[in-house]
Amino acid sequence: MEIVRREKAGSPESLRIRRQRAQELLRGPELEGAALEKYVTERVMTTTLDRALNWARANSMFPATFGLACCAIEMMAIVASRVDSARIGSEAFRATPRQADLMIISGRVSIKMAPIVRRVYDQMLEPKWAIAMGACSSSMGVFNNYAIVPADKFMPVDVHVPGCPPRPEALMHGIFKLRKKIMEDPDEGWRRRYEAIGTEEIVRRDDIDPLTDSEVGTGDGRDQAVNVFKPGDTAGA
């Protein structure tokens, strides 16, 4: 951040500066290259069709009414007046999957229900997105037992919203993250944002395949992630 020292008006020096600043306001600063492009895209509407379509899709997602359990109550709460989902474009919760493009899996998915969730998801038309709302649909939640299955196991999920049940505001936060993802500007995972890739604590040596415990590691990128720190590398992680 640059610090601008400003003298009181009167001196010819400050007049020149003031005139230059006024010109900048009117005509724009002298920019080149990537900075100029960024300046233009911030101030001018998107020009490519893709980005226009993404903008339209992201701002008018119609969720499918797919309430399963307790999270469905909080999902209905975002339709209600305190946290109004209509103001972000999700005015109509469509009952038929043919007309919906967002599926909020709100609640625990039992093994009897999983094929039905998958079938309803398949009936949705492209482009479609899925939010796994709550702990039960993302992982197993409070109940790690024989009867339920996490949504990741049978369908692709774009955004996971944690909570049991997540507050309506948390679900809205998840919908905003999905919106950013649709507009091709995804919020990066925390590891990339904080440059923390490579800081995982390792439990195994990299010449042992972690999935089958056999002696042969394949040596490609996936195995590298298992043992990133060589001896002497640790910076106290």
Partner 1 sequence: MPDATGLELLAADLREQVPDAVLDTEHFRGKAALHVAPASIGAVLEFLRGRGFTFLASVHGLDYYPEEPRFGVQYELLDMSALDRITVKLRVPLDDPHVPSVTPDWPTADHQEREIYDMFGVIFDGHPDLRRILMPDDYEGHPQRRDFPVGGEPVLFTYNEAQGTQYTD
Partner 2 sequence: MATETRHLDRTTTLEPTERIEQHGDLAPEQELLTLNMGPHHPATHGVLRLLTTLEGEVVRDIKPIIGYVHTGIEKTAEDKSYWKAIPVVERMDYLSYYFNAMAFCGAVETLLGLEVPKRAQYLRVIHLELNRIASHLIFVATGGLDLGAVSMFWYGWRERDMILDLFEQTSGQRMHTRYIQVGGVAEDVPRGWEQNLRKFIKAMPERNQQYRALLAKNEIALSRLKGVCPLDADELLKYGVTGPLLRAAGNPWDLRKAMPYSSYEDFDFKIPVGTEGDNWDRFAVRLAEIDESVKIIEQAIDGLPEGPHIADDRKVVLPPRHELATSMEALIHHFKLVTEGYRVPPGEVYYPIEGPRGEYGCFVRSDGSSKPARVHMRDPSFVNLQAFAPMVKGAYIADVIATLAMLDPILGGIDR
Residues engaged in binding partner 2 (CB under 8 A): 65-70, 72-74, 76-77, 79-82, 95, 107-108, 110, 112-113, 116, 120, 136, 142-148, 164-165, 167
- Nearer residue to partner 2 within complex by CB, 94 or 177: 94
Give 17 or 77: the residue with its C-beta nearer to partner 2.
77
| 185-214 footprint of partner 1 as x/- string (CB under 8 A) | ---------------x-xxx-----xx---
Contacts of 118 (CB under 8 A, 6+ apart): 154, 155
Q: At what angle do helices 49-58 and 168-182 cross, to 10 degrees?
A: 170
| HSE-up (13 A, CA, CB side) for residue 9 | 2
Q: What is the secondary structure of 100-117 as a DSSP string?
A: --EEEEES--BTTTHHHH
State whether the Cα torsion 177-33-24-48 is positive or negative. Answer: negative
73 binds, among partner 1, partner 2, none (CB under 5 to 8 A by kind): partner 2
Q: Is 146 in the site for partner 1 (CB under 8 A)?
A: yes
Interface with partner 1, residue 36, by CB under 8 A: no
CA distance 124 to 128: 7
Q: Choosing among partner 2, partner 1, none, which partner's interface includes residue 174 (Cβ < 5 to 8 Å by kind)? A: none
Strands (E) located in 45-140: 63-64, 102-106, 129-133
Nearer to partner 2, 116 or 225 (CB): 116
Walk across the sheet containing 102-106 and list its strands: 63-64, 102-106, 129-133, 159-161
Q: How far is the CB of 208 from partner 2 (least distance, A)?
A: 32
154 scored as a contact of partner 1 (CB under 8 A): yes
Task: Work out whether 162 is an interface residue with partner 1 (CB under 8 A).
Answer: no
- According to CB under 8 A, which one of 107, 150, 165, 166 is a site residue for partner 1? 150
Least gap, CB of 73 to partner 2 (angstroms) = 7
Distance of alpha carbon 219 from alpha carbon 214, whole angstroms: 13
Please name the residues in contact with 149: beta carbons below 8 A apart, sequence gap of 6 or more.
109, 110, 111, 114, 140
x/- track of binding to partner 1 for residues 86-125 (CB under 8 A):
-------------------------xx-------------
The residues binding partner 1 (CB under 8 A) are 111-112, 139-140, 144-147, 149-150, 152-154, 200, 202-204, 210-211, 222, 225-226
